[in-house]
Amino acid sequence: MREISVTLRAALALTLLTSACGDDPRPNVLLYVADTLRADDLACYGNPLIETPHVDRLAAEGSLFENAYAQSSWTRTSMASLLTSTYPAVHGVEGRMEALAEEMRVLPEMLSEAGYTTAAITGNPNIGSAFGFRQGFDEFFELYERRDAGRVRVGEFVTTADRVSEVAIEWIDRASEPFFLLVLSIDPHSPYEPPPEFDRFGGDYQGSASGKPEFINRLDLSRQDKQRIRALHYGEVAFNDHAFGKLVDDLEARGLYDRTAVIFVSDHGEEFWEHGGRGHGKTLFEEVVHVPLILRLPGRVAAGERVARPVELVDVVPTVLEFSDLPIPADIQGISLLALPAAQRLIQSRLVLDGTEINAVRLGPNKLIEEARGSSKLFDLGRDPGEKESVSEGFGEQRRALERMLVKSRQDNEILRVRLRGSSAPVSVRPDDLSPEVVRELERLGYIETEKDGG
């Protein structure tokens, strides 16, 4: 029965394609975000333990970016960067209470104004209307109960990846083209509770570990418990892959797959005790900022290509605008993935949460993590991909260069923040960090007044 209905639907879609939809050459866009997914969680990124056939297929038919970076290590900050193509200090969605400002331009607004039908399906309250993320969407599906802004608790993540895909499929069924659909699937975020048929990556564990927060955050876990917890996370990754596959199958059955740009990405990764802790939103090590990014659009994106050049979440907006033949605004900070420069570029991540401020910049194999102003660690990811030991001897020049770039990026971000969001109080930049030219620029914008005390 299912087979027949799919065939009929495909035939109907083909008829519609040749009549109503034939005029607009712009592709639909599916931006699929798997919440809390590390690059090395996926088989197509080299994980030998897991099975992720649907994402692997997307990679085989599109381009996989081997070195993709999230702009932060928790949902709200990273998603704001993904949707605005600006770095965290610019959009300012950083603390527990911060919402996306109305004056920030988001991708759905740009596409909606250009005639796209837009919708979001979100399984994470951090990306809800309470935090300003409804802007630009014709329809906005929040799959949880939430009344107030403020700190989101894991218990609010009540939906599952397959429910998210179901709602997406129902929407696609009535969406006019071209459409932009943002899907934020909450699995594999904790709690790690995969359906039993996906809980198959754990070996023969005998203990009592569960994927609930009260267990996974305990401090007395054995090595076997930790392996089991990681395996439960893998179960959720595989379940998410399955749900993503259902959505792709549906696009294919409707004849939409080849004219829909499919972008598969994550907002951040997850720590499993590599540096002592578990979870995310605490550090900026590779396990939380190195994310998957895969792009498929036949005719525009090479099939089966693996791109080693580093890219960032902020690159998604200009890429979509390029697909859609729309102008790329001057005020965005990403670069289209279709036109990556050959030269090395600076990758930026930042975390300002719960009283800490961490900044990280990467250029080539060198990554500088500044955990407090004036105190930084340099890692050589070429020799030490796990960031186990910071380097000092023989790296003085690289360290100074990255420190200068961090200062420069801080100034550039502050100038752009003021230009885009006006003269509200600075969030994190202190006057001592500013160069004379930045001070002049801020004065010109009416943002600060120079003291003229002369003494």
Name the residues that contact Zn ion, by CB under 5 A: 35, 75, 267
Q: Which residues contact 263 (CB under 8 A, 6 or more apart)?
A: 29, 30, 31, 32, 293, 294, 295, 316, 319, 320
CB of 243 to Zn ion, least distance (A): 16
Q: How far is CA 16 from CA 6, 181, 260, 381, in A?
A: 15, 20, 15, 51
- Widest CA span of the chain, in angstroms? 86
Which amino acid appears at position 411 of this protein?
Q
CB of 321 to Zn ion, least distance (A): 24
Neighbour order of strands in the sheet with 293-296? 139-142, 117-122, 179-185, 28-34, 260-266, 293-296, 63-65, 305-307
* Of residues 74 and 201, the one with the C-beta less far from Zn ion: 74
Task: Give the dihedral sign, CA 419/424/430/435.
Answer: positive
* Of residues 106 and 321, the one with the C-beta less far from Zn ion: 106
Q: How far is CA 366 from CA 31, 87, 131, 307, 374, in A?
A: 30, 20, 35, 19, 18
**What is the 3-state composition of the chain as percent helix, strand, coil, each rounded to the nearest 5?**
40, 15, 45
* Of residues 63 and 75, the one with the C-beta less far from Zn ion: 75
Q: Which of these, 246, 285, 248, 290, lies nearest to 265 by C-alpha position?
A: 290
* Of residues 35 and 41, the one with the C-beta less far from Zn ion: 35
CB of 258 to Zn ion, least distance (A): 30
CB of 37 to Zn ion, least distance (A): 9
* Of residues 124 and 366, the one with the C-beta less far from Zn ion: 124
Q: Which residues contact 140 (CB under 8 A, 6 or more apart)?
A: 119, 120, 122, 129, 133, 134
Secondary structure class of 126 (helix, strand, coil): helix
Cross-strand bridge partners of residue 349: 360
- Contact status, residue 407 vs residue 429, Cβ threshold 8 Å: no
* Of residues 152 and 328, the one with the C-beta less far from Zn ion: 152
CB of 396 to Zn ion, least distance (A): 37
Q: Do the bridges between strand 63-65 and strand 293-296 make them parallel or antiparallel, or are there none, so unpaired?
A: antiparallel
E strand map for 177-220: 179-185
Report d(CA 414, CA 431) in Å as an integer: 11
Q: Which of these, 162, 133, 157, lies nearest to 145 by C-alpha position?
A: 157
Residue nearest to Zn ion (CB): 75
* Of residues 151 and 419, the one with the C-beta less far from Zn ion: 151
CB of 176 to Zn ion, least distance (A): 30
CB of 238 to Zn ion, least distance (A): 18
* Of residues 153 and 388, the one with the C-beta less far from Zn ion: 153
CB of 79 to Zn ion, least distance (A): 7
* Of residues 100 and 434, the one with the C-beta less far from Zn ion: 100
Q: What is the 8-class DSSP label of residue 390?
A: -
* Of residues 28 and 71, the one with the C-beta less far from Zn ion: 71
CB of 126 to Zn ion, least distance (A): 7
CB of 124 to Zn ion, least distance (A): 6
* Of residues 70 and 253, the one with the C-beta less far from Zn ion: 70
Length of the chain: 455
Q: Which of these, 284, 316, 272, lies nearest to 297 by C-alpha position?
A: 316
* Of residues 77 and 260, the one with the C-beta less far from Zn ion: 77
Q: Which of these, 338, 266, 331, lies nearest to 52 by C-alpha position?
A: 266
Secondary structure class of 233 (helix, strand, coil): helix
